[in-house]
Amino acid sequence: MPTAFQRIYTKVEEITKATCTVHATDVGYEELATVNGQLAQVVKIMGEKVTLQVFAGTQGVPTDAEVVFLGKAPSLKVGDALAGRFFNAYGLPIDGGPEVEGREQEIGGPSVNPVRRKQPSELITTGIAGIDLNNTLVTGQKIPFFADPDQPFNQVIATVALRTAADRIVLGGIGLTNDDYLYFKSVFENAGALHRIVSFVNTTEDPTVERLLVPEMALTAAEYFAVEKKEKVLVLLTDMTLYADALSIVSNRMDQIPSKDSMPGSLYSDLAKLYEKAVQFEEGGSITIVAVTTLSGGDITHAIPDNTGYITEGQLFLRRDTDIGKVIVDPFRSLSRLKQLVIGKKTREDHPQVMNAAVRLYADAANAKTKLENGFELTDYDKRTLDFARGYSEKLLAIDVNIDTDKMLDTAWELFASHFSKAEVGIKQSLTDQYWPGQ
């Protein structure tokens, strides 16, 4: 980066809703600038015509606006002093505290060389059986909750965050409502966990395009703690759908041809660049990302959840179980791709088979339920699966259950034994011999 002597231009040639164009020389791509004091970034250079994306929008920008190039890409001052603080999308404090002193780190930095990654192998427990038993999480994993806007996803990820044994939690709030922002703040404060937490928040009151900076700010802070402090960092990003919406606004303003669902053709790469920051380093530090992608009407074929699903290592669905009237993590549609690395290895040997058997029997119950709804007679087996399903929901899947993994497995065996024969459960004999209750 050359020394930043300030170059000031005052002739703005074009202004659109999100961008303005000036004649300028010796400008670097992705360099920051201010336009009448508002932060902006270089997004296109054509000869001497430089197009700037103004984060806060271009309302009120005149053609004689003062454009100052700052000679650097967007950056965050990183240091231990980040802990316990709340920042905006530019990394400036919003909690009334002083500015953080530290090393200036460009956001959106380079990717980890894949051969320098370590295979994730450390279990993350949450006490939620829908996660720990059926969809076990591992450090270095990236996984979103696919949730409808009316589901309590922010409460759930706050619970996940506080129950896990992460050294550091980084919250990236993207278009949070002010109420949710205050909710996170009070939950973290009440849990006495504030010192472990760094938050970057863009609320619905802030300009939309600013949101694009939030995940990268959060991940830059996470990289500092994971690489330099070798900490286990958990990053929460909510709501990534609003991030993608902001991308589509910018690409639209840049006259790019939209692809599926009006999203930019680069959506996959744009999302992957963020999610792939999840990593297990050889030296012990790790970044785990738990995100939220809100759906519209449960449609996962929409470009945002669809591209997300191809990038992340699984996805978690919330569902209200009408039998027990509680929210559960849906055992059918949820998936943790990295669970194979730990279940039965870091957890008890019977974990994989118990998990599969329970889900299969739960599926049989779902079929029985369909039969019942269609007015068909139920067999004895059908009735037993329904009884099993209710117990499974109540004692294991409900999100308010908080037990350790061994207890979950024991509970599952008890449910098996009270409703089924060994052959119906169909677990490998050596395991049944050992764990079947009351023999």
Partner 1 sequence: MTATQQHTTGRVSGIISNLVLVQVDGPVGQNEIGFIQMGDTPLMAEVIKVMGDKAYIQVFESTRGLRPGMEVRFEGHMLEATFGPGILSRNYDGLMHDLNTMSGIFLQKGDYTSALDLDKAWAFEPLAKAGDEVAAGHWLGQVDENGIPHKIMVPFKLKGRYTVDSIVEKGDYKVQDTIAVLKDERGTEHKVSMLQKFPVKQAIKAYREKPRPYQLLETGVRTIDTLTPMVEGGTGFIPGPFGSGKTVLQQAISKQAEADIVIVAACGERANEVVDLFVEFPELEDPWTGRKLMERTTIIANTSNMPVAAREASVYTAMSIAEYYRAMGLKVLLLADSTSRWAQALREMSNRMEELPGPDAFPMDLPAIISNFYARAGIVHLNNGETGSITFIGTVSPAGGNLKEPVTESTKKVARCFYALSQSRADSKRYPAIDPIESYSKYLEYPELQRTLNEQIEERWTDKVNELRNILLRGKEAAEQINILGDDGVSIDTHLTFWRSEIVDEIILQQNAFDEVDARTPLDRQQYMVNKVLEVVDRPLSFDRYEEINPYFKRVINAMKQMNYSAFDSEDFKQNMQELEETLAEREVEEG
Q: Which of residues 276-295 bind partner 1 (CB under 8 A)?
A: 276-277, 279, 281
Of the residues 187, 191, 193, 363, which one makes contact with partner 1 according to CB under 8 A: 363
The DSSP symbol for 397 reads: I
Binding residues for partner 1, rule CB under 8 A, total: 82
- Minimal distance in Å, beta carbon 59 to partner 1? 25
Stretch that binds partner 1, among 170-178, 200-208, 270-278, 320-328 (CB under 8 A): 270-278
Min dist. Cβ of residue 297 to partner 1 (A)? 14
Candidates 58-66, 81-89, 194-202, 329-337: pick the segment binding partner 1 (CB under 8 A): 329-337
Q: If you search the block for the tokens 């919330």, which residue do you land on?
A: 318
Stretch that binds partner 1, among 125-133, 182-190, 355-363, 409-417 (CB under 8 A): 355-363
Q: Which of 75/203 has CB closer to partner 1?
A: 75
- Burial per residue of 280-309, b for 16 or more beta-carbon CB atoms within 10 angstroms, e otherwise: bbeeebbbbbbbbbbbeeeeeebbbbbbbb
- 6 binds partner 1, rule: CB under 8 A: no
> Which string of x and - marks every residue 43-62 that binds partner 1 (by CB under 8 A)?
xxxxxx--------------
Applying the rule CB under 8 A, the residues between 212 and 251 that interact with partner 1 are 227
Residues near 179 by beta carbon (within 8 Å), at least 6 away in sequence: none
- ∠ at Cα 158 (153, 161), nearest 5°? 125
Residues 6+ apart with CB under 8 A from 126: 132, 137, 159, 160, 163, 164
Measured from the Cβ of residue 187, the count of other Cβ atoms closer than 10 Å reads 16
> Which of 428, 433, 434, 437 is close enough to bind partner 1 by CB under 8 A?
428
Q: How far is the CB of 235 from partner 1 (least distance, A)?
A: 15
Residue number, 196 or 339, with CB nearest to partner 1: 339
Q: Which of 77, 273, 369, 383 binds partner 1 (CB under 8 A)?
A: 273
Answer whether 210's CB lies under 8 Å from 194's CB: no
Distances (CA, A) of 155 to 78, 183, 303: 28, 9, 26
* Of 15 and 335, CB closest to partner 1: 335
Does 102 engage in binding with partner 1 (CB under 8 A)?
no
Q: Which residues contact 358 (CB under 8 A, 6 or more apart)?
A: 133, 134, 331, 392, 396, 412, 415, 416
Beta pairing partners, 169: 197, 234
Query: Which of 211, 302, 319, 351 is close enough to bind partner 1 by CB under 8 A?
Result: 302
